[in-house]
Amino acid sequence: MMNRHKLNQLHLSITAGTLAVSLLLGLSGETVSAASKEQPEIRAKNVIMLIPDGMSMDGTTLARWYNGGKALALDEMASGLVRTYSADAAIADSAPAGTAFATGFKSHTGYVGVLPDQNTMPGLPKLAAGDAKKPVANIVEAARLAGKSTGIIATSEIMHATPADFSAHYPDRSNYDALSEQQVYAGMDVVLGGGATYFTPAGRDDGEDLTKVIANSGYNIVKNTAELKAASSGKLWGMFADTAMANDMDRDPVKQPSIAEMTDKAIQVLSQNEEGFFLMVEGSKVDWAAHANDPIGIISEVNAFDRAVAKALAFAKQDQNTLVIAATDHGNGGITIGDVGTTGTYDEEPLSTFIAPLKKAKATGEGLEKKFNSNRSNIKAVMKQYYGITDLTKEEIATIKAAEKGKMNYAVGPMISKRAHIGWTTGGHTGGEVALYSYAPGGVQLTGVVENSDIAGYMASALQVNLADVSKQLFVPAKTAFAAKGATVKWDATDARNPVVVVTKGNDTLRLPVFKNTADWNGKTVKLKGNVIHNGVQTYVPQDAVDLFS
């Protein structure tokens, strides 16, 4: 385990070849840093982090065998293991796991970009009084303030937990209004994924038209593959689905680009900045397939993600100044090649036992739903044509017929798993270590067993940015800071769905809309270095908002 450090530092120090993570947040108390070994010093102009959400190691093995045993792009980058537990649980939710990657802090289930309520896992420190749910800086914010271009990609809704971890702060991953509004005002250069509905007035509780805000902010909004390919430079926002994008095996390539195509385009655009860039890419739906125990979905999404890795790795090798890290946030499903049916024959089963049934599938469980007619009277025909299954039981037919809309993968995934002897232990996440993949200039890798929270510090060190300083700059407790200036702070909830923090001192008035980076200073619009954040407890503002008052 690493040495103890003070929680009042968030700063990665690499000296004498040793990676030491210290986390400066202006907090009291101490933290136990995570397991790590001596690491070489890395400097990189660019960092690309790729996250195959919920990808367990048997999932990559399955995809490799499905591909005929050919190596994945990930394989040459394999370098260690990542511990995935959260602040108070052995098995992590995506929100705190992604928060650890993005900020260097483990958090609580559902919390996006903020500290937990408490640290209860062994080796973690007691959280200082008043620090619960406090927002902490992410690597995207640090890179942006350092003059680098930034971007996020996801195949889910772009405000889903993991992409939100790198672009927003709120202790509830389900509050899409709060998360998406912050993303729109976060100053990123490239945003590609799904979730278009949640930027429209009809798809939001606050009634705001964020699509219009995006367009007025200078983004080129693209909505299909051709438009993405035609985009050349500048700020780019891709909205390729109303909600989540389709699984790659089911995807219409005209309507939706692949994750590899999105990654390639993002790199093209971001790399035009001579100061460098940071890019986060999430293969979101590996996780969704694992929840459904759908091996075809796993194969579809692992392979699609791996092709995105290949794009990032090719760029890094040519550029020679780019760090690439790939790691999942947690395992999911407890997938195994082999199940209870192979208990007595596991070492005698040919590879075809596991792969041949899977090769018959022409759609994932999600994609299969569209193949049934309205009353699902064609179940036998569809399962024969698209899954090669001709021996459905009465119980299986009843299960398919009764499947709720959007849940067909949960119905058919276990059916093809049974025939391919693919085992599952759960429909939820798992707590084991996951594979770490890394590539850096000179072929240097991050190695050993590392904490998910160490990776943020490693990336920050490579980019030579200080997450601690950024936290101080962006998240100042509003009431205390403005009071020190002799100003009065009030909460204006005239429009309860769009509250405003109002600060007055003498003839000066500052109006700060929550979750935005724009403010009204004595009737004039000013742009702040970060968003105004309310975490349900108190409000935080960027330091430059405080500095407006003398």
Q: Report helix, strand or coil for 467.
A: helix
d(CA 457, CA 361): 42
Backbone dihedral angles phi then psi of residue 251, each to the nearest 5 degrees: -70, 140
Q: Counting beta carbons within 10 angstroms of the beta carbon of residue 527, is it exposed (0 to 12), middle (13 to 18) or buried (19 or more)?
A: exposed
CA distance 10 to 467: 6
Phi (first) and psi of residue 316, to 5 degrees? -65, -40
Q: Count each helix (H run) and each strand (E run) in the chain, helices first.
A: 19, 26
> What is the number of other CB atoms lying within 10 angstroms of the CB of residue 373?
10
Q: With contact defined as beta carbons under 8 Å apart, do 210 and 182 qualify?
A: no
Query: Of the listed 33, 94, 156, 167, which one is catalytic?
Result: 94
Residue length, the chain?
A: 550
Q: What is the phi/psi pair of residue 510, to 5°?
A: -120, 125
- Separation of alpha carbons 29 and 8, rounded Å: 8
94 tagged catalytic:
yes
Amino acid at 56: S
How many CB atoms are located within 10 Å of the residue 249 CB?
Answer: 18
Token pair listed for 9:
């530092």
d(CA 221, CA 200): 14
| DSSP state string for 359-421 | HT--S-HHHHGGGS-TT-TTHHHHHHHHH------HHHHHHHHHPPTT-HHHHHHHHHHHHHT
Q: What tokens does 524 get?
A: 């004039």
Cβ-contact 449, 38 below 8 angstroms: no
Distance between CA atoms of residues 482 and 351, nearest Å: 67
Say which amino acid occupies 408.
Answer: M
Q: Are 525 and 540 in contact (CB under 8 A)?
A: no
Is residue 386 within 8 Å of residue 361, measured between CB atoms?
A: yes
Residue 429 identity (one-letter amino acid): H
Instruction: Quote the CA–CA distance of 54 and 333 in Å, as a whole number.
Output: 8
Distance CA 179, CA 112 (A): 9
Side chain identity at 173, as an amino acid letter?
R
Q: Residue 133 corresponds to which tokens in the numbers above?
A: 């749910």
Which positions are catalytic?
94
